[in-house]
A and B are shown apart, each in its own frame.
Chain A
Amino acid sequence: DGGITQSPKYLFRKEGQNVTLSCEQNLNHDAMYWYRQDPGQGLRLIYYSQIVNDFQKGDIAEGYSVSREKKESFPLTVTSAQKNPTAFYLCASSIDGRGAKDYGYTFGSGTRLTVV
């Protein structure tokens, strides 16, 4: 079955360390997105990519980095520069980068990152 997979489900990081969250999709979607979710804050866009080897900053990109070397993969690195990294991270993908055409975004099941 086609879908979008995030791993790991739970991740613990020591302060000052970088950590990379994985996101893989086999839906043949062009666009991929990373969101951060904090209680009561809704979904905040970190980075998005509409095509391989290209990506743009979202609303809260500081302290994060991404790469899009393959259509299927869009890993997110949380760097030590991110001052408050503890959150629930969601990856999503969509057809042709226009978001809501036909089916909207498909989300992964999320990664909960905790800084210890």
Chain B
Amino acid sequence: GQQLNQSPQSMFIQEGEDVSMNCTSSSIFNTWLWYKQDPGEGPVLLIALYKAGELTSNGRLTAQFGITRKDSFLNISASIPSDVGIYFCAGQPRGGSEKLVFGKGTKLTVNP
């Protein structure tokens, strides 16, 4: 099946640093989504992107839908301890498949 390659797998940063993570695919996606999962909880939607080239912000978070429709990135600026968690990218394939395809996640650790 289709796969999303999400990187990095994990990150260890100091509070206040900026963070960048990305997802790539060999297939075209109609929609890109970014989720955050706190420890022991379900993922929560952070940002949804619906058009190629779209750049969307949500507070300190910024995400972009790649122009080729095969990639997306998420940036977090001025990280804080509560940013700790696992960040997942997800995409809706262009072929009209009903199910989202998920990346394997980026585990973020923020040291105070």
Contact = CB atoms under 8 A, between A and B. Distances in A.
A103 B100 CA distance: 12
A59 B1 contact: yes
B73 interface: no
Interface in B91-112: 91-92, 96-100, 102-105
Given A104-B45, A104-B48, A42 B100 contact: no
A98 B44 CA distance: 18
Interface of B: 1, 9, 30-31, 33, 35, 40-45, 48, 88, 90-92, 96-100, 102-105
Nearest to B91: A100
A92 to B, nearest CB: 8
A100 B40 CA distance: 24
Interface string A84-116: 000000101000011111111111111010000
A48 interface: yes
Contacts of B105: 42
A109 B1 CA distance: 27
Contacts, number: 67
A99 B92 contact: yes
B2 to A, nearest CB: 11
A104 B43 CA distance: 11
Contacts of B30: 100
Contacts of B45: 103-106
A104 B100 CA distance: 8
Counting from the closest, the 8 A-B pairs by CB-CB distance are A107-B42, A42-B104, A100-B92, A100-B31, A99-B100, A97-B98, A104-B33, A43-B102
Given A41-B104, A100-B90, A104-B33, A50 B98 contact: yes
Contacts of A40: 9, 104
